[in-house]
Structure formats: structure tokens, C-alpha cells
Amino acid sequence: MPKVPISTIQDVIAKILSKSHKEGDCLVYDGYRSVTGYGKVKVGGRNGKLLLVHRIMYEHYRGPIPEGMFVCHSCDNPPCFNIDHLFLGTQDDNMKDMVSKKRAFRTTGEKSGVHKLSYIDVENIRKDNRYIAIIAKEYGVVKSTISMIKNFKSRKDG
């Protein structure tokens, strides 16, 4: 966050608080939000910068954010700025948190909207002893797809 006089930061905090509401344990910013849902507020007047609300609040109440660190949400609610819901972490920490909370969606197999092969197709491909090129042509996929299926490097679910 840019160094601003304390009166200015107090004005920014007041603006954030005036455009927020309580939602369960979360303090949710109702002002401008990024496309990913994070609250943003302009700091520095007319030509100022848009800064993330949760980062402003973290820095105001907890201190400077080390370079390269993320301010993560334990509540998984992007517009929340409740200081008790915010913690520092690396990009790796943030991704591990996302996976541990089952928020990482990697859809494979028939669950994927772009699948070409059913579970039965995969089973049949694994039993098929013909040349990979012939099997690939029959199913309308590339040879590497057939090879990966046969070697259990793809479609482990089938």
C-alpha cells in the first residue's frame, strides 16, 4: 500500500466501513469489486490507484505485507475484509488451501464437458490389441491419447 498520511488512511478505512455489511462472521465490502469478487477502493484522490480492500485492512491492522506474499481468506469469501479471516501466505500456500477445501475444480473423464471417450470406451481401448493408430482413428482422438490411456497416465477413472 502506498505511504499515505494517517488522516488519509483513516478516510479510506471510514469509506470502506461505510460501504460494507455484516454477513455471518464476514465483513463484506459492497463497493466496487473486481471481476473475481474482491473489493477495491480508490486511494490517492482523483488520479489515485485502485487497491484491494482486504490488503488495505490487513496492512492497517496487522502491519506491512512482505513482498510476494498474498493476503488469503480463511472464509473463502473474496469481498470479506474481516481481519480475523485474513492470513498471509505464498501463492503455493493459497493453492494448497484451495485444494484442501475442495475449491479446486479439475474435472476429468465423463464429468468433463469436453470429454470424447466414455468410461466404457476407455475400458475397451485398454483391452484392444490393435495398433494405436487404428484405435485412435476409430475413436476420433490422437494417438497420444490412446497411448496415455493404455499406460494409465490418463483416464485413471475408466
pLDDT digits (tens, 9 = 90+) for 23-77: 999 999 999 999 889 999 988 777 888 999 999 999 999 999 999 999 999 998 9
pLDDT digits (tens, 9 = 90+) for 94-143: 888 877 877 665 545 555 444 678 888 888 999 999 999 999 999 888 99
6-100, CATH topology level: Homing Intron 3 (I-Ppo) Encoded Endonuclease; Chain A (3.90.75)
pTM (two decimals): 0.61
Look at 119 and 78; give whichever has higher pLDDT. 78
- In which residue ranges of the chain is CATH 3.90.75.20 found? 6-100
Q: CB under 8 Å, gap of 24 or more: what pairs does 24-33 form?
A: 25/75, 25/82, 25/84, 25/85, 26/75, 26/77, 26/80, 26/82, 26/85, 27/80, 27/81, 27/82, 28/77, 28/79, 28/80, 28/81, 29/53, 29/79, 29/80, 29/81, 30/79, 33/78, 33/79
